[in-house]
Amino acid sequence: MSTVEKPKGGLEDVVATSSRICFLDGDRGVLAYCGHDIHDLARNATFEETCYLLWHGRLPNRAELGDLQTQLAVARPLPEPILRLMKMLPPSDGMDALRTLTSALGHYDPDAHDNSAPASYRKAVRLTGQIASLVATWGRMQEGGGPIAPDPVLGHAANFLYMLFGRRPNPTEIRAMDIALTLHADHELNASTFAARVAAATLTDMHSAIVAGIGTLKGPLHGGANAEVMKMLIEIGQDAPAERIDALVKGKFARKEKISGFGHRVYNTEDPRATHLRRMSKELGQKAGNTRWFEMSERIEALVKGEKKLFPNVDFYSASTYYTMGIAIDLYTPIFAVSRVSGWTAHVLEQLANNRLIRPRADYTGPAYPQTWIPLDQR
């Protein structure tokens, strides 16, 4: 006896809010941030320019970009108590650590008790700088290395790789990371962004809203597909002949198993982000003198498109891109957060600017009303 319209499963195609931030057209394969096509941004923008675009609705001029670069440089060093906490955490999934450490950052933020619009913007910038440092430092420590202080001269992508590897990244690596961060920065009302907006709508603080996003991204139906792609490639084996690749993929088809990295809730054609990650996977492989992971991915793509008519999504080629760069698989989803924090914070700021508590209705499917009360000794 519901009084509300029955929703589609998973709220598919249900419009939940208005937003100026991200435009999607799944039939045409269009993704745009504030009207700027993702292909233009991937070819030309740095991640810092992308952040400014998401937060302000327009691209920065040179002075504005310089100011943001300075603000991010100031934000990147982690408070000493956070580094101590990082060392105290038990071995765990990178997303578990990121969730805990991001929450802890809220205790040390100079604007912790100020939820005004200017303070929330400062926290957005600060969190974008700090989450990159958290993930890079965590990844380095998991490999037995010590924390490396960020270099204020380096940009965001270069600093992340420098803090992770302990060496200066080459230009191809920097560009690949810049592109990956730009491509993952926002994607309209995906699950984690919606979670962050729901949290923000209660007028909670920025850190709490971002932790809601991180916790949602951790779920395997949202983040983590690129890690599963790389595990599949490793299972096949770098030196596997074409016949083994074909047999494994066709075996998955026969068992009706999902192949990670293909299909998307929104896109009915190629995910435009996959276009650039495919190219970067190839370029990085050529630079490293090993294009095998790319070639395997390309063969799997052809099999899946031919048999299932499914296109690769953003996760498929990001797997071989990151692996060729030497990034540990456990960091793939946290790196997603390193980028998506820019979109999460943009949506939180937008929500707070014209806030109304997000409180949808449910289609009731329980026992008919009214039920007859039965005394306890008669049940």
Q: Is the peptide bond before 370 cis (omega within 30 degrees of 0)?
A: yes
Whether residue 346 sits in one domain with residue 197: yes
Whether residue 28 sits in one domain with residue 137: yes
Q: Which residues of 361-376 are buried (b: 16+ CB within 10 A; e: fewer)?
A: eeeeeeeeeeeeeeee
Q: What is the pLDDT of residue 3?
A: 52
Active-site positions?
264, 315
Whether residue 62 sits in one domain with residue 174: yes
Residue 283 resides in a domain: yes
Close Cβ partners of 3 (under 8 Å, ≥ 6 residues apart): 361
Indicate the number of domains in the chain: 2
Provide the residue type at 261 as one letter.
Answer: G
Residue 78 resides in a domain: yes
Whether residue 238 sits in one domain with residue 91: no
Whether residue 230 sits in one domain with residue 209: no
Strands 22-25 and 30-33: antiparallel
Listed residue (175, 174, 98) closest to 142, CA to CA: 98
Integer distance in angstroms from the first to the last C-alpha of the chain?
Answer: 26
Residue 256 resides in a domain: yes
Whether residue 253 sits in one domain with residue 192: no
Whether residue 186 sits in one domain with residue 133: yes
Q: What is the pLDDT of residue 138?
A: 97
Residue 144 resides in a domain: yes
Whether residue 120 sits in one domain with residue 258: no
Edge-to-edge strand list for the sheet holding 36-37: 22-25, 30-33, 36-37
Q: What is the pLDDT of residue 294?
A: 96
Residue 359 resides in a domain: no
Query: Residue 303: which CATH number?
Result: 1.10.230.10
Whether residue 232 sits in one domain with residue 213: no
Query: Residue 72: which CATH number?
Result: 1.10.580.10
Whether residue 275 sits in one domain with residue 232: yes
Residue 191 CB coordination number (10 Å) = 18
- The answer to whether the CB of 145 falls within 8 A of the CB of 166 is yes
Whether residue 271 sits in one domain with residue 148: no
Entry pTM: 0.94
Mean pLDDT, consecutive 10-residue segments, the chain of 379 residues?
60 83 94 97 98 98 98 98 96 92 97 95 98 97 95 97 96 96 96 97 97 95 89 91 91 90 88 95 94 95 92 93 95 97 98 95 92 96
H or E segment and range at residue 36 = strand 36-37
At residue 343, the 3 state secondary structure works out as helix
Residue 29 resides in a domain: yes
Residue 375 resides in a domain: no
Whether residue 81 sits in one domain with residue 30: yes
At residue 218, the 3 state secondary structure works out as coil
Residue 213 resides in a domain: yes
Q: Which domain holds residue 320?
A: 225-324
HEC secondary structure over 318-369:
HHHHHHHCCCCHHHHHHHHHHHHHHHHHHHHHHHHHCCCCCCCCCCCCCCCC
